Structure 1
Amino acid sequence: MRGEEILKHLEHKRTKCMVYTRVMGYHRPVESFNIGKKGEHKERKQFKEKRCLEVV
């Protein structure tokens, strides 16, 4: 099965996922953003910090 076929087959099991982001020191759902802020959020780059090496 291709990805699209799998999604159609399992659509009845899917639920809506709320995405929150930190704005001005507190968390807000992205769903409540205006159109400009949603666009800005979509353009953000995700990154993962590397673990620091401890110097003994």
Structure 2
Amino acid sequence: MKSHDILEVNKSLRTRCMVYTRVMGYHRPVESFNLGKKGEHKERTCFHESSKRHVAAL
């Protein structure tokens, strides 16, 4: 069974969730953004900091 099929079968069990993003030091729901800001949010890329820090040799 593919993931799409699983989602369709369990559609009645799913609930809508609020997505928040950090804007200027505070968290705000993406749902409240205007159309332009929502488009900008979709274009963002996730930043993942690696656990190993690279230190430049002097």
How far does residue 4 in structure 1 lie from its aligned partner after superposition? 1.6
Name the SS of the counterpart of 1:27 in structure 2. strand
SS at match of 1:47: coil
In structure 2, stretches of 5+ residues that fail to align are none
TM-score with structure 2 setting the length: 0.81
May I ask how many residue pairs the two structures share in their alignment? 53
The equivalent residue for 2:3 is 3
The list of structure 1 runs, each at least 4 consecutive aligned residues, that deviate by more than 4 angstroms after superposition, is none
Task: Return the TM-score normalized by structure 1.
Answer: 0.84
Gaps of 5+ in 1: none
Q: Encode CA deviations 1:26-50: one digit per residue, 9 max, x unaligned.
A: 1000000000000000000002101
Q: CA RMSD in A?
A: 1.3
Hey, what does 1:27 align to over in structure 2? 27
